[in-house]
Amino acid sequence: MLLRFLKLYPLYFSLCLLPLVGIVIDMIFDNLGADPVQALHIRLGDWSLRLLWLTLFITPLQKITQWRGMAQYRKLLGLYTFFYASLHVIVYLWLDQGLAWAAITTDIIESSYIWFGVTAYLIILALAVTTPKAMVKLLGKNWKKLHRYIYIASGAVIIHYYWQLKGNMAEPLFYLIILSLLLLFRLAVWFKNRQFTKMMIPTTRKIRVVKADAVRVDQTLAGRSKGIVIEEIDSDIET
C-alpha cells in the first residue's frame, strides 16, 4: 500500500501544480484578457475553492473505502488549497491594491464579501500551520476540533463567492449543495457512531463491583517467577 502511495504521490503533487502552470503560461503569452489582474484573481480563487472541495471529499471517501492511506491526500490537497488561496490573497494585496494598506483597510471594511474571504483565509491558514506531525502531537485532541473548522471556512468561501457575483448564481449554488451533502454525510456518521457507543456502554445501568475480599492470586507461571503475590484487595468500584 505504501509503495503504491509513494508512486502516486508525485503524480498528484504535479497535477495540483498544473493550474498554476496554465496561469503562468497565459501570463507569459499575454493571454489573460482585458483585465489580467481580475483574471488572475478569479482563476486563483476558483482553484483554491475547487481544491477545498476536493479536500472535503477525502473524509467521506475514506469512510466508504476504509482506506486509511487517503489522509495523506487530504493533507496534500489541503496544503494546495492554502497555496492557491495565498496566491489569490497576494494578487489582491499586491497587484490589485498595490500594497496601499490604508486603501486595503477601507476596501475590506466597505466590501462585506471580503470579510468572508478573510475569515475563510484565516481558518485555512490556521489549518495549514497545524498540519505538521509535531503540531498534531502538540494539539492532541484539540487538533481534530480545530480542523473541523474547515466546514466554517467552506461556508464563508461560498458567501464570499456568492456575494461578489453579479450574474450567474448556478456555480455557488452547486458548491452549496455539495457542501450541504458533505455535512449531511458527516452528521450521519456522527449519529451512527453515537448510537453504536450507546449500544456498547449502557449509561442508565451502573455496574457495581462490591468487596473483592482477600483476593489471592497465586501466580503459577509469570507471577511466581517474579514473586508477585497480590493479597487483600478491598475494592468498591463504580463505573
Q: From CA 38, how far away is CA 96, in angstroms rounded?
A: 8
Q: In terms of CB distance, is 18 or 212 closer to ligand HEM? A: 18
Least distance CB 1 / ligand HEM (angstroms): 31
In DSSP terms, 218 is beta-bridged to 229
Least distance CB 89 / ligand HEM (angstroms): 4
Q: Is 149 helix (H, G, I), strand (E, B) or coil?
A: coil
Q: In terms of CB distance, is 49 or 73 closer to ligand HEM? A: 49
Residues at the interface with ligand HEM (CB under 6 A):
38, 41-42, 45-46, 48-49, 52, 85, 88-89, 92, 114, 117-118, 120-121, 124, 157, 160-161, 164
Q: In terms of CB distance, is 63 or 95 closer to ligand HEM? A: 95
Q: Which residues of 36-48 are buried (b: 16+ CB within 10 A; e: fewer)?
A: eeebbbbbbbebb
User: What angle do the packed helices 101-110 and 112-129 form, to 10 degrees?
Assistant: 110
Q: In terms of CB distance, is 73 or 121 closer to ligand HEM? A: 121
Instruction: Take residue 204 and report the three cell numbers written for it.
Output: 442508565
Least distance CB 171 / ligand HEM (angstroms): 7
Going 78 to 83 to 88 to 92, the CA torsion angle's sign is positive
Q: From CA 186, how far away is CA 63, in angstroms rounded?
A: 10
Q: In terms of CB distance, is 73 or 92 closer to ligand HEM? A: 92
Amino acid identity at 100:
A
Least distance CB 155 / ligand HEM (angstroms): 11
Closest of 153, 175, 14 to residue 85, by C-alpha: 153
Least distance CB 158 / ligand HEM (angstroms): 9
